[in-house]
Amino acid sequence: MQRRKRIFYSEDQRKVIWDRWNEGVSLKDIGRLFHRPSSSIHQLLARTGGIRPSERKRSARALTLVEREEISRGLVAGCSLRQIAAKLGRAPSTISREVTRNGGAHLYRAVSADQEALRKALRPKTCKLASNVGLCAVVEIKLRERWSPQQIAGWLKRKLPQHEHLHVSHENIYKTLFIQSRGALKKELQAYLRSKRSIRRAKTASLKQKGLGKIVDAVSIHERPPEVEDRAVPGHWEGDLIAGSKNSYVATLVERHSRYVLLVKVNGRKTDEVVPELVRQSQSLPKELYKSLTWDRGSELASHQKFTVATDIQVYFCDPQSPWQRGSNENTNRLLRQYLPKGTDLSVHSQGELDEVARQLNTRPRKTLDYDTPAERFSQCVASIS
């Protein structure tokens, strides 16, 4: 069996690869630039977990390759170390140590000496989680509870404000997860991240959007009252459907003020299957805490007028292809994919199981709430109307 030829990339090619990756270009498109398979690009990026390595910089006091070549030429010409030092403007002791540590005058080679100096200059610093076993254990526990690194970092600062040695940035947690050479957090913990990716994805990577249908007599999001926009008043919700395999769906509702989440089991995405369940769910909440609902332009709410007549809740629709207008709901849907992964059959989950998933999300601290939980904020809303 013939072994597959190993693919190498030059430094210039590596720079282009990392530039394209950080711009959000796909692995397949990057591979096309070099007429190489996407797997070879992934292999290169995976060595550091998709996180671009820091560019190494030499100290201004260190000998350069040009100076080492001058040393080599001087030794071949029979010049003394002092003469070479004077020509370079360096101390004789610097030249003496350089020549001695690289085999002496007869074996000195400029390129190999320069490469060896670069290798020896490496000073790998032990990451904070590797040097603090207790902190690492806390982070691991919270990751297994499906907390995001940002939630963990914010929670630690809030709970232990006087103990800075127990604070760790979310970026440090991500790097320790994706760069396994740090040796602190096990690779299996990546499965508890909401994305479950094995390498870091570029922030600029684009997300594909599907076309959205037309809704008859839809009330535009631009007609919402100002109180909805500033999130100061509770009772305004955002909603959507998340899809699974075998045409299975779950309706997701998020309260804009508290980010409180409700999940609704539906039998399909047809409007006569979704609207009755949303009506039923609305009846479980006080009227003061359910005043409006903002939805995308999916056909599942084509019967929005029936929903409004049954509940006295006004429905507003986003502009086409504008998911950011329901930012809280979009973010929550990404969080939900930890519990309800893409490509799985969502119909197997009972309403009780969905309620448990919602409970877990509602008891996780959120950065946007100053690391309060949605449950705490929503309880305050309920208490204020009692």
Q: What is the pLDDT of residue 88?
A: 92
Strand, coil or helix: 228? helix
What mean pLDDT is predicted for residues 245-249?
90
Q: What is the pLDDT of residue 308?
A: 92
Q: What is the pLDDT of residue 386?
A: 67
Q: What is the pLDDT of residue 207?
A: 41
Tell me: the pLDDT tens digits for 231-242?
A: 888 999 999 999
> Has residue 145 got a pLDDT over 70?
yes
**Smallest Cα–Cα separation from 212: which of 322, 286, 120, 129?**
322
**Higher-pLDDT residue of 138, 183:** 138
What mean pLDDT is predicted for residues 295-324?
88
Tell me: the pLDDT tens digits for 96-117?
A: 999 999 999 889 999 999 988 8
Between the ranges 24-38, 179-193, 220-234, 256-270, where is the mean pLDDT highest?
256-270
Q: What is the pLDDT of residue 124?
A: 64
> Has residue 374 got a pLDDT over 80?
yes
**Smallest Cα–Cα separation from 50: which of 24, 13, 11?**
24
Amino acid of residue 237: W
> Has residue 354 got a pLDDT over 90?
yes
Question: What distance in Å separates the CA atoms of residue 340 and residue 359, rounded to the nearest whole number?
Answer: 14
Q: What is the pLDDT of residue 209?
A: 40
The position carrying tokens 């030499």 is: 58
Laid out side by side, the sheet with 236-243 consists of 261-266, 249-255, 236-243, 292-295, 314-317
> Has residue 131 got a pLDDT over 70?
yes
The DSSP code for 386 is -
Mean per-residue pLDDT of the chain = 86
**Smallest Cα–Cα separation from 381: which of 286, 295, 312?**
286
What mean pLDDT is predicted for residues 19-32?
84
Q: What is the pLDDT of residue 208?
A: 38
β-strand 292-295 against 236-243: which pairing, if any?
A: parallel
What mean pLDDT is predicted for residues 313-339?
88
What mean pLDDT is predicted for residues 276-282?
93
* Pair of tokens at residue 238: 């955002």
What mean pLDDT is predicted for residues 312-334?
88
Q: What is the pLDDT of residue 218?
A: 86
Tell me: the pLDDT tens digits for 171-225?
A: 888 888 887 766 678 878 888 887 777 777 766 554 434 333 467 888 888 888 8
Q: What is the pLDDT of residue 213?
A: 47
> Has residue 129 got a pLDDT over 70?
yes
Q: Would you tell me the crossing angle of helices 81-88 and 65-76 to the nearest 10 degrees? A: 140
Please report, rounded to a whole number, the percentage of residues in the chain having pLDDT higher than 70: 93
